[in-house]
Each structure stands twice: as C-alpha cells, then as structure tokens.
Structure 1
Amino acid sequence: MYTYAKSLPPSSRIFSGFRKRFFTSTSTLLQQSTKKPETLTCTLSHVRGPSTPPLLTKTIGQIVDEQAERRPDDIVFVVPFQNTRKTYAQFKADVDATAAGLLHLGLQKGDRVGIWGPNSYEWLLTQYATAKAGLIMVNVNPQYKAHELEYCLKKVQIKVLIGATTKECLDVLDKVVPNLVIPKKSSKIPDLETVVLISDNKNQTPAGDSRFFHEILQDYGREDLSKLERNAKQVTPNDPVNIQFTSGTTGNPKGATLSHQNILNNGYFGGITLGFDKEKTILCSPVPLYHCFGCVLGSLMTVVHGSTLVIPAPRFDAEATLKAIDGEKCTFLYGVPTMYTDQIYHPNFAKYNTKTLRGGFMSGAPCPVELVRTVKQKLGMRDIIVGYGMTETSPLVLLSKLGDPEECCTQTVGTALHHTEVRIANETDQVVPVGTRGEVQVKGFPVMLGYWQDESKTNEFFTPTGWARTGDIGIMQENGYGKIVGRMKDTIIRGGENVFPAEIENCLHEHPAVAEVYIVGVPDRRLGEEICCWIRLKKEVSEEELKKFCRDNLARFKVPKYFVYVDSKQSFPLTVTGKVQKFKMREQSLKLLKLDDDKMEYAL
C-alpha cells in the first residue's frame, strides 16, 4: 500500500501511497470545477456537492500571511479569560515567533508536536505555527489518563509536547514524565525530547527538562527565521499537518492524519455554506479546540474567511458563553445540542442580550425538532444549520444551508459539501435506492490521508474503489439530503428485529415533557437485547405515559423496557466535546438495572 521513496521526508513517504490511490476523486473534481452544479432528483442514494468555486490549493501558513496583509487591523481572535485580543497582523507575528521558537528546539519538517490542554490562545498559536513550519500538530485529548497519553506519545513519535499547567494535566504528566525529567533511553516514550508548559507566571522556573511557552516566543534567532522561511516554501497542500486521535470504545485510538488540503478546504467551503463569505462574522465557539469542530470549523473557518473567533472559556461554560455573545456582539454560535440546552435554560439567561446572533451551527449529536425551535426563538436566530461528518473526513461532508425549510434542519443533516460525493451503500458496497437504509460512504477532498502507521485499519476504512466507510447508517431523500439513523455498532437487535436508537430518540423528543433522551441496548436472556432509555425531563410524567407515547408512534418492538432518569443536577456521560458516551451508559445501565453482563460483549 505504501510507497517508500528515499527522496521524500518520512511523513511524506508514509502517505505517498494514500495520495496516489485516494486523491484520484479530488483530482477528478478539480477537473470538473468549471461545470455547473447538477440539480438532481435522486433515484439512487448518491449525491455530489457543488463543483464551484474551485478547491483552494494553498497551505495554512500562506492563508495566515495573506490575511495579515489583506486585513492587518481586523480582530481575528478574542480570548476573554486570558484578556487577549489579537489583530491579524499581531497574530501573524506571534505565529512566526512561535514557529521559529519550535524550530530552535531542533525540530525538522514532518516532526510531530503534541498539544495537550483546554482552549487557550497558545493552543491557536501552536496550530498555525506548526502548520507554517512544516510540522505536524497532534491533538491530544486533555482528559486522557497516563496510559492513554503515553500511548499517543509513542504511537506518533511526538518529539515536543506542549501541555497545560492545570492540576489535572500536571498530575497525569508526572506519571508519564516523573518530575518532568525526560529519560535518555525509554521504551515507553522513546521519541519525546521536550515538554513545553503553558503558564501565565513568567517569574516561575520550569521544572526538570521542561520549558515555558512564553520562552519559546522569545528564544530564537535569525537562523531559525531563515529555516522557517525555507520550510514554509517547501510545504505543499497535500502534506500531513494534523493528527487527531479518534475516540472509540474498543482498542486503542487511531491517529487520523489530515492534510492542509483536507482541513483548510473544509473550513473554506463550510464557511461559504454558513454565509461567512457574505458578511462579517463574529463567531462564538465554546467547543474544544482539540476536536475537529473547534480547530477546523471554528479556528480555520474563521481565518480563511477573515472573520473573528471568540473563545469564551477554557472548557464549556454556559454563562461564560452567554456573556461572550453579549459582550462581543457575536453573530454566529457553535455547539452540540447539550451546550445549547444548558445556555437557554441557564438561570441567568435573561441577563444577557443574544439578539445579535444571526445563526448557529448545531452538530455532534441528534438535533431534536423542539430544541431547534426553542433555540431559534430564545436566542433570536434566523437560521440553525446542522451537519454531519467525522474526524476522518476533516470533519464535514453533509451540511444544511441558510434559508432551508425547517424540516431540512430537523429531519436531515443536510446535503453534500462542495467537491464531495456521498452515497448510501449496502453490505456489498452497492448503492441503494433513495429511502433505503445503508452505510454512509464518502469520497472527495475531506477524506483523510489514512491512520498514522496503521495500514490494516486504513485498508478497513476504505472500500476497494476508494470510498470511505463511516460506519454510520443513513437514509438519503430524493432531494439529496441525508438522515443519520444510527451507528452500525449501535444498532440494537431485539428478538431478531433491528432497532435504530435515533428513531426512538426522535420520537420521544416530540413529547412535551422530554428535555433530552438517549437510547442504548442492554443484554436480555430471552431476546438477546432490550431497549434502555436514558432521559431528562422538563416536567413530571409517568413511565407508563412515556411507553404509551412510544406505542402510539412506533412499532411495539421499539418501545423501551427500561428507563434511567437523569435530573437537572446530573449529567449524561460525556466526552470533552460534549458528545454522549453510549458505551458508558450501557455499562452503567447494567449496574443500575442489576442485569447480567454475560452478554455484554456486543457493547465493548
């Protein structure tokens, strides 16, 4: 699969085979960029996004330089909790200093730099400095425990780890690198050379072999700047620039490797769909930067369109988000459904003015009809945009549009992004008729280069003809808009009947007493699996009434047997990005419901 050419740098050698095989569809789409977008009524579940405007063929570093020259005095980033407000010119200067400082540490083009911590201005600087210097940034989940951090450091051969000085991060880091003294010969972390800590205390002395981030901004010379200039000229759009570890419930995380072309164009075309190209946008994004939602759709979309990004807090904080919207007069808001819910039902909601918001993007979990309507009404938005994607697709592949009818935003996840093909396929990878369930498969520029140094998993991810397998079950409508009805691994098989959790969730969200709901499967000796409903209520309602509501609107085999109630003071098991962790719900359900675990293998 791989083509190893000694003339290429190591990172390029690893993925040269991927480029040859999987970028064919992107090249074809580029050749077709002069054609008019097709207006289709689909009979088969296969849709192509618009082929104009053409794909960007630039690097992230080039975009930073161009925007600093085009709009030097415009504000690009506002980070209230760090009292930071940067213009495009100031940001470019900081990016160049950070990049030169990283090269001063001895890093070479293609080396990996890990970023491990909550949202901060330093996180943003690392993202753009590594890209400009020809390095590869590795997003490390700030909630990782010691063994998970150790795995990531070793898996992608991280040479420099930039970490936060929160107690949680320092406690974990001390277990991996005791006293911050990096061992000369270590089988656990053989490649790590430097730890850089993000600290506001400039009078503090770094421990062990660590450095402080503010030192990196100052500790470089002319040779480092010359090296930066040379590296920046050598970087190509197809070079890997970012590794993001996919979160899974089985095995170790996989390193999805993304190129400049992948993520820059995803931000570019996503922004066009959201209207960032038509009017000045001040985006409030409380989602974590370590995730594609934050670093691509938030950060990169902002820079490529010359907009402003406001990051309200290190981690999601509902009131801090409302305060930022009010104080900065934000015009667009990001979030997963739970984030929107926490804001509109916050006890201090009425204190803040959100009427400057023209729209919002809601993704990361199913977006219930009632929630979308309530959010638009309470926040004063004209539009709620919904979308679908995954880390391996940079992330967006489907997106609704400004001005779409409400049903497009509440009953679908949109249609294909520019220069992207999406199809629904059966078990033999054949396209199915519209209205038929199947796996969502993707082709085009968003698809990753591959999993870092994991040929087997990469081969599993692609069909023989180069389509990316998402593992999600979808249905396509005649207008080319798609629905996600579940995960292939989440499907509940109850007495031989396939049950798709999203269908039950959407049904229960229509009940006036239901605020939030998630469906999981639990083992059952007679039927194999039974349906368990985790639910948060707006007002009191009996379990029997909820079951009757399901019976009235769904087939009987889809009615939940078990209910687990989550009150307003509790939270569902969540990832750092705000996504629910259904595998944890399954595990906790066994204990709460006192069920046997002898058939729990399906959920692990």
Structure 2
Amino acid sequence: MLRRPQGNLSYVSGVTDDPLRFVTLSQALDETVAAHGTRAAAIFSSEREVMSWKELQRQSDDVAAALLGLGLQRGDRIGMCSANRREWLLAQFGAARIGAVLVNLNPAYRSTELEFALNKVRCRVLILARSTAAGNHLGMLRVLAPELDQPGAKPVLESRRLPHLRHVIVLGEGLVPARAERFSDFLRRGSANGKRRLAALAAALDPDDAVSLQFTGGTTGAPKAVALSHFSIVNNARFAARAMQVGEGDKLCIAGPLHQSLGLVLGVLTCVTTGATMVFPGPDFDPLRTLDAVSRHRCTVLHGGPALFQALLDHPELPEYDTSSLRTGIVAGAPCPADMLERAVQLLCLDELTVVYGMTEAGPVTFQTDVDDPLELRVATVGRVHPNIEVKIVDPDDRIVPVGRLGELCVRGYSVMRGYWEDAKRTRDAFDETGWMRTGDLATLDADGYCRIVGRVRDRVLRGNRLVCPEAVEALIRRHPKVQDAQVFGVPEVKPEGRSDAKPEGNRGEDLCAWIVLAPGAAASAEEIRAFCRAKGEAEQVPGPVRFVAAFPVTASGKAQKFAMRASMVREMKAREIKTA
C-alpha cells in the first residue's frame, strides 16, 4: 500500500491517484468562477460584506489593470502589509493575473524588519494599511522614507533607504503623504486597454513562475525570502482540501493572518480550488469575533495554530456560541497538545480536525492526518505524507535510516520551494545534488507511514555521550503545574558554583538551559524545576541553568528566538566566570 515505507527503510512516497494540475492561480480562480460564479466567495463578517466569485474576479482584475497602469511587469514584486481585509484578496489575485509576485509582509514587523524585507526583494510597490492592531504602519514608513512627504507633481517615491520602492498605496480613506496615493485613487490608474491585455498576459504565464514570497520566521537570524510557485501552492491547497474532504458546500473560517501560509494557502486557496466559501471574522484574530462568525455563518471548517484554538477553548463565553456546524480543519504551526485536541473535538465539535506538518519552504504541507484517524494518532503524529511528495529520514551520513529510527527529515516533490530569493548559497545549502530538501527537523516514520516530529537537528544538545532534544525537555517542564511555557536550548558547560574541578573551556561539552514563564501568580525555584525533571524524566533531561522570565524574545510572527536567548545566557555566564575567577 502506498504511503507506507518501502521495505524496512524510512522512505515513503505519497499516492499518485490524483494527478498534479499544471495551472496558475488565475486559471484556478477562473475555473471556480465558471463553476460557482454567483455563489459567495468571501464573507467579511465584521464588515457585513459578501463577495461572490464573479465579484472577486472582477475586482482583482481592476487591481491587475491598475498595476499595469503603474508600469509593472511579470516578475515585479508587490509588498502587501495589512491585516485581513478585502484588498488583500484583490492584491493576491490581481498580482497573479499579470505575473507579478506578492510579497507577504507581517504587519507586526518593526521598522528594521520592514526595511530589510522591502530591500531584500526590491519591492516596487507597497500596499499598506494605514494602521492595524500591530501599530501605525504609515507612520513607521514615514520614518523610513521621509521623502514620502516631499511635495511633487506625481505620487512617485524616491527614497534613500528604500531605493527600489516607487509606489506606496494606502488602504482606507483619509489624507495620505504627497508621494503616496489612496487605494481608491490607485484603482483609477486602470484603463480599458489594460483590462483588454489581461487575458493574454495571464495565458502567457508559466505555473512554475514564482507567485508568492514569504519570509521565514527569523528564529535563527535574518529572515529568508521563500519563493513559491503557482504550481506548488495551488496543488498543495488541493491536497489539503482532499484530506479534510472539503467541498463547495463548506464554509472555511480564516481567523489567522493572510501573511502566513495557513491563511494564504490552506485558507484562501483551499476555497479557490474547491468552491468553498471563505469567512473572515475580522481584520485581526479575536476569540469572540471568531466564535460569532462560526455561529452566525455556520462555518464547517476552522484553521489555526494551537494558540488560536487554546484562546477559543479558554474563553469564558464559549458556551454561549453554537459551534455545532464545525466539522474539520487544520492545526498547524507548533506541536499540538493532546488535551487541546481532545477539547477541540468535544467543545468545538471538530470531530474530524486534522493535524499537519509543514514549513514555508515545503509549500507548506508535507504530512497531514486523515479525518478518520483515531484521536491518539492525531495527538502523537502529524499523519502521513501528502500525495505526489516523497520523504525520507536520514542519518548524519545521509543514509536512509530503518523504520522507527530517528533522523533528519528530507522532502522532495512539486511543493518544495523554488529557492530562497536571490540567495544561491542558502538555496544550495538547503538541497542535496538529487533535489532533496533538508528540513532540519528530527523525525521518525513508523511501519504505517505515520510521522512523528521530535525536534530540530541544530537544537540538539550533546550532554555526555547522548544527544538530547530540547523539545522533549520543554514538554516535560510544561507539565509542571506552575509553568505556563518553557524554552530549552544548549549553552556551553561552565564551572558549577563552588567547584574548581571543571574541565578547561576548550574541553567542555554542552549544558541544557531552561527559560521559563511561570503561570500567573505562581512562584518556583530553579531547584524545584530540576527536582520535577529528575522525578518525571531522564537524567539527561534535567536542566542546568534555569531562568524565570516574563516573556521570551520572539520574531514578528511570534516564534521564540532561541539564538537570542542563548546569546544572552552566554554573556551572563561569561561575566559570572570572569567575576568568580
């Protein structure tokens, strides 16, 4: 049977009974318009607005024609920085129609991150929300590019710090800087001639062209721009929908942000490839708005990360909302706690909720559980490989390991990124000579093809003669009743206080360091945490240095930055050694 390892080796290939479709985003949208034109494509719940598939096509073509009016061509990059709103969909499909590349920018970016992203991929156009819950974006851009306010005959930007950016389009009404323009004014740039060109431009596109640039989280340093093709994300959305058995009668609640693959690919494109209706509760995630949208619009599908589901499940007003229409969805982005999944099934009626494993570079989904998988498999694994994708698990010498043995997960297939944008070295480092992409994740495959993700290769800590996965230690510490969250990482072994027999610095190994956020009102000592780990775990899982912190340093997308924690601890430990030497 396919999807099971071949022989006793940790290699598996997805089923091929559903052929890949070599189409662009525009072609996928056009097919859905032809089949479901007057049906609802998107419901914007808080705005009380409904958009049909025909309207989505027409309005996104208006954007495409306006982009042509700015002089944009195939391959040009368009930045989008906004919360979830109608214009994001229009920009996504308008850019795709003419072959431009949408650069998905996190509205939580700080000014340095926005400057890096815009310059890295040389954006010519930036479509920008005036402000969101994350901050005043127009004000931040004015600091980066004070030239925005210089008087001029045309709203064209010439900025010293953003030398490639020429056009800034501001969403919403109100005054805009002299060198920017409102979205409504931008739309007037479209001409009848431009609209007549759209069909020919779209027909000339190659599904292998890049259509989306998404920046990785930057948990280990500067973010990388991942280039994904039409072919990759359209098919990945199709197969995610197939795993959930989503069809034209479903309504998919998109409560997470569109700048992430979970919203953009597994949300929007899942609906485009099936004819299902998108339901947006509001611009930003809010538990009550989400519950209200699910209840009012009878949503059947709900996606989110564990934090999103936890916020819904913990909200005191959850019992007041009818979520009985829910059936399936996706949990992604982080390990799924067993108790959370069980509560989602019981309290949100998500009997067929699926768990996925993916990464931005993989398009995004590689593994997904089936709707009829037993709960214990959905808790312990990330399911089996998607159709038309190959995976293998290898040892440090790149040899495929036996079934059940731990190793690094590698992926090959249609969904894998084209590469890191104009970064040949990092792209070469990510792939081997036969096209396998190294994920950097430690995993196992069982005899039935179910995958378990254990941790990150680079995060493993060598204690004595054993490699320890920090993720396992984090899970152990989180079981302590006083702990809200924990991050564990390796630091150089240092001389314990009061001892003079420690190894010289050059001969030292690694130690486990734990940063811990305690539950509200709780108090604990480092030794209390260590004693708990000794009692509940293995000797190698007992941390050395323990620090209690109010919060972890995180990226704009909310992922913990272990490299920053490690650097802070190394500085502190070196300072202590100098002081006690």
Q: TM-score, normalised by structure 1?
A: 0.85
Query: Conserved in 2, the CA contact under 8 Å of 1:287 and 1:577?
Result: no
2:81 alignment partner, one of 89, 94, 116: 116
Structure 2 residue 176 is the aligned partner of structure 1 residue 198: no
Q: Given the superposition, is the C-alpha separation of residues 383 and 519 from structure 1 closer, same or farther in structure 2, using an over 3 Å criterion?
A: farther
- Which whole-Å CA distance do the structure 1 matches of 2:551 and 2:221 have between them? 26
1:441 alignment partner, one of 403, 410, 417: 410
Instruction: Quote the residue 2:235 is aligned against.
Output: 265
Structure 2 residue 91 is the aligned partner of structure 1 residue 126: yes
Describe the SS at the equivalent of 1:302. helix
Structure 2 residue 464 is the aligned partner of structure 1 residue 481: no
Deviation at 1:510, TM superposition (A): 5.7
Q: Given the superposition, is the C-alpha separation of residues 341 and 587 from structure 1 closer, same or farther in structure 2, using an over 3 Å criterion?
A: farther
Query: Conserved in 2, the CA contact under 8 Å of 1:393 and 1:446?
Result: yes
Amino acid paired to 2:36: R
Instruction: Quote the residue 2:385 is aligned against.
Output: 416
Amino acid paired to 1:43: N
Structure 2 residue 286 is the aligned partner of structure 1 residue 304: no
Instruction: Quote the residue 2:502 is aligned against.
Output: none
Describe the SS at the equivalent of 1:158. coil
Structure 2 residue 263 is the aligned partner of structure 1 residue 280: no
Q: Deviations over 1:505-562 (max 9, x none)?
A: 3445566776654433455414532231525549979667765553344211102345
Instruction: Quote the residue 1:385 is aligned against.
Output: 354
Instruction: Quote the residue 2:293 is aligned against.
Output: 324
Deviation at 1:448, TM superposition (A): 0.8
Q: Given the superposition, is the C-alpha separation of residues 372 and 519 from structure 1 closer, same or farther in structure 2, using an over 3 Å criterion?
A: farther
Query: Conserved in 2, the CA contact under 8 Å of 1:438 and 1:473?
Result: yes
> CA RMSD for the aligned pairs?
2.7
Instruction: Quote the residue 2:54 is aligned against.
Output: 89
Listed as ranges, the gaps of 5+ residues in structure 1 are: 1-35, 600-604
Instruction: Quote the residue 1:335 is aligned against.
Output: 304
Amino acid paired to 1:207: P
Structure 2 residue 283 is the aligned partner of structure 1 residue 314: yes
Instruction: Quote the residue 1:360 is aligned against.
Output: 329
Q: TM-score, normalised by structure 2?
A: 0.88
Instruction: Quote the residue 1:208 is aligned against.
Output: 178
Structure 2 residue 368 is the aligned partner of structure 1 residue 399: yes
Describe the SS at the equivalent of 2:27. helix
Q: Given the superposition, is the C-alpha separation of residues 141 and 575 from structure 1 closer, same or farther in structure 2, using an over 3 Å criterion?
A: same
2:343 alignment partner, one of 354, 369, 374: 374
Q: How does 1:555-594 map to 2 (within 5 A)?
A: 555-561=538-544, 573-586=553-566
- Which whole-Å CA distance do the structure 2 matches of 1:131 and 1:416 have between them? 29
- Count of paired positions: 555
Instruction: Quote the residue 1:48 is aligned against.
Output: 13
- Which whole-Å CA distance do the structure 1 matches of 2:320 and 2:555 have between them? 29
Amino acid paired to 1:329: R
When structure 1 is superposed on structure 2, of 65-74 and 50-59 the one drifting more is 65-74
Deviation at 1:564, TM superposition (A): 5.4
Query: Conserved in 2, the CA contact under 8 Å of 1:42 and 1:479?
Result: no
Instruction: Quote the residue 1:554 is aligned against.
Output: 537
1:294 alignment partner, one of 244, 249, 263: 263
Structure 2 residue 37 is the aligned partner of structure 1 residue 64: no
1:78 alignment partner, one of 36, 43, 46: 43
Deviation at 1:94, TM superposition (A): 0.9
Describe the SS at the equivalent of 1:424. strand
Deviation at 1:37, TM superposition (A): 4.1
Describe the SS at the equivalent of 2:124. strand
Amino acid paired to 2:138: L
Query: Conserved in 2, the CA contact under 8 Å of 1:389 and 1:398?
Result: yes
Instruction: Quote the residue 1:240 is aligned against.
Output: 210
Describe the SS at the equivalent of 1:82. coil
Q: Deviations over 1:558-579 (max 9, x none)?
A: 023455567xxx7655545454
When structure 1 is superposed on structure 2, of 223-232 and 180-189 the one drifting more is 180-189
When structure 1 is superposed on structure 2, of 120-129 and 175-184 the one drifting more is 175-184
Query: Conserved in 2, the CA contact under 8 Å of 1:505 and 1:519?
Result: yes
- Which whole-Å CA distance do the structure 2 matches of 1:90 and 1:316 have between them? 25
Amino acid paired to 2:161: K
- Which whole-Å CA distance do the structure 2 matches of 1:536 and 1:239 have between them? 47
- Which whole-Å CA distance do the structure 2 matches of 1:395 and 1:426 have between them? 24
Q: Given the superposition, is the C-alpha separation of residues 198 and 184 from structure 1 closer, same or farther in structure 2, using an over 3 Å criterion?
A: closer
Query: Conserved in 1, the CA contact under 8 Å of 2:253 and 2:294?
Result: yes
Instruction: Quote the residue 2:224 is aligned against.
Output: 254
Q: Given the superposition, is the C-alpha separation of residues 514 and 369 from structure 1 closer, same or farther in structure 2, using an over 3 Å criterion?
A: farther
- Which whole-Å CA distance do the structure 2 matches of 1:489 and 1:338 have between them? 25
2:121 alignment partner, one of 156, 159, 166: 156
Instruction: Quote the residue 1:5 is aligned against.
Output: none
Describe the SS at the equivalent of 1:342. helix
- Which whole-Å CA distance do the structure 1 matches of 2:41 and 2:483 have between them? 39
Instruction: Quote the residue 1:25 is aligned against.
Output: none
- Which whole-Å CA distance do the structure 2 matches of 1:129 and 1:329 have between them? 29
